[in-house]
């Protein structure tokens, strides 16, 4: 028997989440974001469940090619554009669309001739910096960039480009400052957008909290995997967790009151205690900085992390819980315990936990 740890990917949850987001954003195109190996869920495990999406968005061109090899025929968007000039041919060959976020990328593009573009006409997304100050054209330079791209796209017969930006704070819809910022970003974009161009603004937070301001093409990431972009919990949005991260109990210890558990003796038994040792550690992607009392579900019951997370194991206080033995199932996160709860306890966000899932954790699929 191999080590009992596993990540179970639920295809129907993925399809459900995409359809839910689409139902809140009728008449929009949904580009599901699958960067970071589908937020740690692995491209080959999610590809079937992604079918309801209108397209996929990713960073690395070789991963986009992998999506084509996996049979994805609908649009694929490269979210940070082409990193190297050599990638142009590959992008055309595999019918990819891409973002242009700076003048150097645009200068390269507008030199490309119809012959170089050959049979595929890419849809270009021009990214504006509307206040996040990360990627994108500053507003002052945007009119010229838009004119340049528009002329090029028309001359070559490409589809109308898309004007795009990214929300810095869309996860607190009741916060007034948050509302002001989202509105301002939306207005900045729509002041510049040519009538025949489409718009793309909303990430998960935008698509769920600010649907009306999210543009024609939404780009949800975390929500399609069933975790919440905030402020509500995932279940309140109707999202279903796509990943169940499971393991098993591999040993039990009776720990007398006052005895200590694990590295650094961080946890001390407040009473005679029962400790379950489970096969999951930080080398599997569980956060080492999770504090005592972080919830862990053992045999369907809520238990509490007791002591530091080791590389390959964790210790959990199961005092007073029932029916637990070696081989009992443990859920680190999933249906019984939302990943958002674990993330919050560990002082981080679900994105980081999901993306950090280690390659050594085997994946299985379920419908
Ligand atoms: C990652 C990313 C998204 C998705 O963000 P979520 O918060 O996961 O929904 C959308 N747009 C861009 C440009 C991104 O880089």
Q: What percent of the chain has pLDDT over 90?
A: 92
Task: Check if 35 is active-site.
Answer: yes
> Which of the four pLDDT bands, split at 50, 70 and 90, describes residue 343?
very high
d(CA 18, CA 14): 6
**Do 82 and 61 touch, CB atoms closer than 8 A?**
yes
In the set 35, 127, 286, 366, the catalytic residue is: 35
Please say if the pLDDT value at position 88 is more than 70: yes
Residue 96's nearest CA partner among 85, 82, 106, 114 is 82
Higher pLDDT, 97 or 83: 97
d(CA 286, CA 344): 13
Over residues 131-155, the mean pLDDT reads 96
Instruction: Output the pLDDT for position 174.
Output: 85
Over residues 115-128, the mean pLDDT reads 91
Query: Which alpha helices (DSSP H) does the chain contain, by range?
Result: 11-24, 35-39, 43-46, 61-69, 87-93, 103-110, 114-117, 142-156, 176-192, 204-209, 234-237, 339-345, 350-355
Instruction: Output the pLDDT for position 338.
Output: 98
Cα 89 to averaged position of ligand 1 atoms, centre (Å): 26
In the set 51, 154, 257, 263, the catalytic residue is: 263
Pocket test for ligand 1, best of 209, 221, 242 (most atoms within 8 A of CB): 221
pLDDT digits (tens, 9 = 90+) for 215-267: 999 999 999 999 999 999 999 999 999 999 999 999 999 999 999 999 999 99
> Which of the four pLDDT bands, split at 50, 70 and 90, describes residue 140?
very high
Cα 252 to averaged position of ligand 1 atoms, centre (Å): 42
The dihedrals phi and psi of 330, each to the nearest 5 degrees, come to -125, 135
Q: Residue 195's CB: how many other CB atoms inside 10 A?
A: 5
Over residues 265-280, the mean pLDDT reads 98
Ligand 1 pocket check for 226: Cβ under 6 Å: no
| Minimum-distance ligand 1 atom for the alpha carbon of 351 | 8
Residue 88 CB partners (closer than 8 Å, separation 6+): 82, 108, 112, 116
Collapsing DSSP to helix, strand or coil, 14 comes out as helix
Pocket test for ligand 1, best of 30, 31, 33 (most atoms within 8 A of CB): 33
pLDDT digits (tens, 9 = 90+) for 32-77: 999 999 999 999 999 999 999 999 999 999 999 999 999 999 999 9
Please say if the pLDDT value at position 1 is more than 70: no
Query: Given the DSSP bridges, would you call strands 295-298 and 273-278 parallel, antiparallel or unpaired?
Result: unpaired
User: Considering the chain, what is the average pLDDT of its residues?
Assistant: 96
Collapsing DSSP to helix, strand or coil, 97 comes out as strand
């Amino acid at each position: 028997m191999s080590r009992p740890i596993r990540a179970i990917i639920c295809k129907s949850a993925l399809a459900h989440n995409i359809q839910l987001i689409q139902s809140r954003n009728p008449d929009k195109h949904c580009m599901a974001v699958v960067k970071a190996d589908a937020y740690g869920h692995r491209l080959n495990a999610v590809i079937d469940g992604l079918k309801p999406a209108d397209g996929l968005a990713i960073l690395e061109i070789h991963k986009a090619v992998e999506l084509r090899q996996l049979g994805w025929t609908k649009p694929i968007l490269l979210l940070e554009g082409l990193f190297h000039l050599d990638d142009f041919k590959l992008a055309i060959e595999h019918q990819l669309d891409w973002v242009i976020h700076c003048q150097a990328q645009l200068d390269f593009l507008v030199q490309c001739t119809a012959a170089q573009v050959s049979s595929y006409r890419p849809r270009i997304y021009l990214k504006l910096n509307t206040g996040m100050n990360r990627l994108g054209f500053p507003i002052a330079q945007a009119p010229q960039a838009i004119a340049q791209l528009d002329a090029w796209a028309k001359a070559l017969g490409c589809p109308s480009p898309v004007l795009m930006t990214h929300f810095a704070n869309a996860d607190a819809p009741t916060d007034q400052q948050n509302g002001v910022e989202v509105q301002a970003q939306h207005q900045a974009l729509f002041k510049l957008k040519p009538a025949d161009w489409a718009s793309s603004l909303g990430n998960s937070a935008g698509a769920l909290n600010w649907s009306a301001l999210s543009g024609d093409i939404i780009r949800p990431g975390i929500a399609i995997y069933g975790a919440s972009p905030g402020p509500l919990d995932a279940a309140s949005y109707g999202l279903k967790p796509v990943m169940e991260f499971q393991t098993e109990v591999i040993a039990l210890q009776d720990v007398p009151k006052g005895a200590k558990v694990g590295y650094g003796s961080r946890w001390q038994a407040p009473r005679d205690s029962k400790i379950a040792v489970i096969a999951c550690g930080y080398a599997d992607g569980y956060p080492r900085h999770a504090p005592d009392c972080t919830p862990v579900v053992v045999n369907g019951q809520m238990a509490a992390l007791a002591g530091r997370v080791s590389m390959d194991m964790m210790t959990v206080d199961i005092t007073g819980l029932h029916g637990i033995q070696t081989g009992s199932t443990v859920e680190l996160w999933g249906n019984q315990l939302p990943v958002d709860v674990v993330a919050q306890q560990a002082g981080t966000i679900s994105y980081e936990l999901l993306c950090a899932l280690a390659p050594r954790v085997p994946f299985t699929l379920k419908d």
